[in-house]
Amino acid sequence: MNNEKPKMTSAQRRLLFGAIFLMATSAIGPAFLTQTTIFTEQFLASFAFAILLSIIIDIGAQLNIWRVLTVTGKRGQDISNEVFKGLGSFIAILIVLGGLAFNIGNVAGAGLGFNALLGIDVRIGAVITGILAIIIFSSKSANKMMDVVTQILGVVMLLTVAFVMIKVQPPYGEALTKMVMPDNPLGLVMPLVTIVGGTVGGYITFAGAHRLIDDGMVGKANLPFVSRAANLGILTTGLMRFCLFLAVLGVVATGVKLDPVNPPASAFQHALGPIGPKIFGLVLLAAALTSVIGAAYTSASFLKGFHPVFTKHNNIVVISFIVFSTIVFLLVGKPVKLLVLAGAFNGLILPITLTAILIASKNKRIVGDYKHPTWLLILGVIAVLATIGAGFMSIQSLIDLWNQ
């Protein structure tokens, strides 16, 4: 008997890395850069503990959702509807609204990236971003182009931040120690639930799974491929966060105070001198553009369950999503309240959806003869409890904003 695993074809390899980077780059947006920088300045080396725990929780959420979705070949909203009638439609509406609000912020972030890198007006940069994203989805091979663009920009982000990390020579030993023995671990609860919500909240956790379903990577036979993609997606995001954390730590550990108006750009400037803000502009542009692509693609995929027209004209729906996001930014400007509202949506959606997926994983009517691992179910329950905390904190943030 031949027990050798069959080699992946070039198309499968592209799909694997496409799903990985679509998920990872959807998570690594302007908010990701800012949150990581602020928490590093606040908690110093101890923030490594929160990053490590977030990766474990993220894997619990991601693996459960990706495996159940792909083994059934059904999207998140369809499975949720089978668990409780109408739940999936309700979640789909929330995710589309949350994705739209976040996409306005992503467009704004890309505009800021163009401004820092090339000195052009932020609004013009936002329009260029919209045009680039539209070109990608106007192509007959849109999915393939999306995979290539997210991979290239994802690698650019990783290499750039890794270069800054090496340049500033952070205290690696202290970071490693605090990763398991942090100062005031209870004080890290808020940053933990915040970065978990930002990594696998709302539409983000479904990005890669829906990408795999769209290319027919479904059924039990493909579960090893799916699990590998899910794990690598989370680890890629975690690697980026660790590199950014260490890069910022190397700056603030010397006693430098970052500019509160733009903490990440300030960190890059202290690390690299006058060229620092331009390098940060490149990272911000890559992060924002890939997040625009991921948010639009995944949000549009949640509309497919409402009517066949959304499936038939998926690329047009995605383009419309991007155009609308860009126009709203041009009319409204900095969408601070929309971003907090989106954060509240994301914090609330994941525990609801993940709970539905965990229930579905044990329902033979939905998953057939598939046996969902008990350890994965337990890890999923832990992720639900953690994201419920994120939801409550998101609500409080929303209340605080509206009371200002």
pLDDT digits (tens, 9 = 90+) for 150-208: 888 888 888 888 998 998 889 999 999 999 888 888 788 778 877 777 677 677 778 77
Where does 253-301 have alpha helices with state H?
A: 263-272, 276-301
Rounded to an integer, the average pLDDT of 373-383 is 90
- DSSP codes joined into one string, 288-330: HHHHHHHHHHHHHHTTTTT-HHHHHTHHHHHHHHHHHHHHHHH
**Percentage of the chain modeled with pLDDT above 70:** 88
Rounded to an integer, the average pLDDT of 207-234 is 84
Please provide the average confidence, as pLDDT, over all residues in the chain: 81
Q: What is the value of pTM for the model shown?
A: 0.82
Convert the pLDDT of each residue in 39-64 to its tens digit. Answer: 898 899 999 998 998 888 888 888 89
Can you give the pLDDT at residue 277? 85
Convert the pLDDT of each residue in 92-101 to its tens digit. Answer: 888 888 788 7
Is 4 part of a structural domain of the chain? no
Is 235 part of a structural domain of the chain? yes
Is 5 part of a structural domain of the chain? no
Least confident stretch, 67-81, 90-104, 105-119, 196-210: 196-210
Can you give the pLDDT at residue 173? 92
Can you give the pLDDT at residue 388? 79
Q: 2 falls in which pLDDT band (50, 70, 90)?
A: very low
Is 365 part of a structural domain of the chain? yes
Q: For residue 170, what are the domain limits?
A: 11-403
Domain count, the chain: 1
Is 94 part of a structural domain of the chain? yes
First and final CA of the chain: distance in angstroms?
A: 69
Q: 400 falls in which pLDDT band (50, 70, 90)?
A: low
Is 6 part of a structural domain of the chain? no
- pLDDT, greater one: 197 or 121: 121
Is 3 part of a structural domain of the chain? no
CATH number of the domain where residue 61 is located? 1.20.1740.10
Give the C-alpha distances (Å, rounded to integers) separating 221 from 11, 67, 209, 215, 245: 17, 11, 15, 15, 38
Is 167 part of a structural domain of the chain? yes
